[in-house]
Amino acid sequence: MNLKSYFALIYYRLRYKYQDLRLKFDVKVANWNKKGKERLTVMVIPHSEQKTINFHISYRAITIFIGTILVLLLISSVNVLSHSGSIHQLTELNLSNQDFIRQSAKMKEEINSLHEHVDYYHNHVGALYGRLTGDSSKVAKGIGGAEKLSSQNLSKDGKPLPPGTEVFRLKEDVHNLKVANELTHEIISILKKRKNVIRQTPSIWPVRGYVLYPYGEYLNPVTARKETNNGIDIGAFPGSEVVVTAPGTVYEIGYTRHTGYFVKVGHKFGWKTIYSNLDRIKVKQNQQVSKSEVIGFVGKSENSPQYSLHYEIHVGTRAINPFAFLNQIQD
């Protein structure tokens, strides 16, 4: 058998089966139509002698009626299930909404707490900056004006807060934090500079003792006259160690009949200190000295027959009262 004959055989077999199935279907449709045309008689017989009522209903009508009922039941079931699903979704949405309200209230409490901390930090940093610089122009808050948030979205007077209040409050806090951070950096810079100035400022006693003659006018017991003292005279034991009161450089060493041996030290920022009435000197000219380093020992001179140290502080060419610096400024 060749290929053409094989396909022809398959074609005729399929055609035969199709015709057979169509014939059976036509027979069933004819039987259904015949059955549908048959009538079912329903008799209603009353208990009295009234006329009997007869109803003639075809099987086709009964089938259509039952089918219609089934379709209506199916549609109703779908509607009921859809309604139940909608109710379930509404319940879930309601629960989600309640959870959102709780989360929103918690978030507003956190925002209020954050705002209080930011405000406290900003105010204290601003107050410190104002005391250090005297300039309050940089301390002013930038945005401001946002009311405290409540879980009911109401202001203090009971009116609803405008939309976006939370965002506005957060923007205000971010701005104030930025301002406070900038002020903090400036405060640190100022303190570093001032600490450096303090370190270079004469701030300790050059010798252990007591003030013999103060700064300014005093009565000289030797001459019995009023004289002007450009520094102070500190009484001390003979040979007591004299220390430099700030780091610097020895720029002059000498001796006169009135001052005895003296040492002059230059410091940063224009400070100068002078140590007179020394018996011996331990440093050399142009030598770098550190704070508290021994530079000589207490002696006396013709103008000061008592063992004492004459100590002066100058800013540029102007002498100032050293007593104000003795242990008044600390590192």
pLDDT-derived band at 149, boundaries 50, 70, 90: very low
- Whether 314 has a pLDDT exceeding 80, the answer reads yes
Cβ–Cβ < 8 Å for 308, 266: no
The pLDDT, as a whole number, for residue 157 is 55
3-state secondary structure of 180: helix
Domain ranges of the chain: 3-82, 119-200, 210-324
- Mean pLDDT: which of 48-57, 97-106, 243-252 is highest? 243-252
CA distances, 137 to each of 117, 130, 180, 185 (Å): 22, 9, 13, 16
What is the mean pLDDT of the segment spanning 216-241?
85
- The model's pTM is 0.47
Considering the chain, what is the average pLDDT of its residues? 81
CB-based contacts of 130, cutoff 8 Å, min separation 6: 136, 139
Q: Which residues pair with 241 in a beta bridge?
A: 297
Quick one: angle between helices 59-133 and 3-37, nearest 10? Answer: 100
pLDDT in tens, 181-226: 888 888 888 877 777 777 888 989 999 999 888 898 887 776 778 8
Cβ–Cβ < 8 Å for 150, 131: no
- Whether 162 has a pLDDT exceeding 60, the answer reads no
Q: 237: closest CA among 321, 170, 300, 155?
A: 300
CB-based contacts of 31, cutoff 8 Å, min separation 6: none
Cβ–Cβ < 8 Å for 206, 243: yes
Q: Please state which CATH number belongs to domain 210-324.
A: 2.70.70.10
Q: What backbone phi and psi angles, to 5 degrees, belong to 43?
A: -110, 135
pLDDT-derived band at 77, boundaries 50, 70, 90: confident
CB-based contacts of 85, cutoff 8 Å, min separation 6: none
Sign of the CA dihedral with 164 first, then 169, 172, and 178 last? negative
3-state secondary structure of 214: coil
pLDDT-derived band at 12, boundaries 50, 70, 90: confident
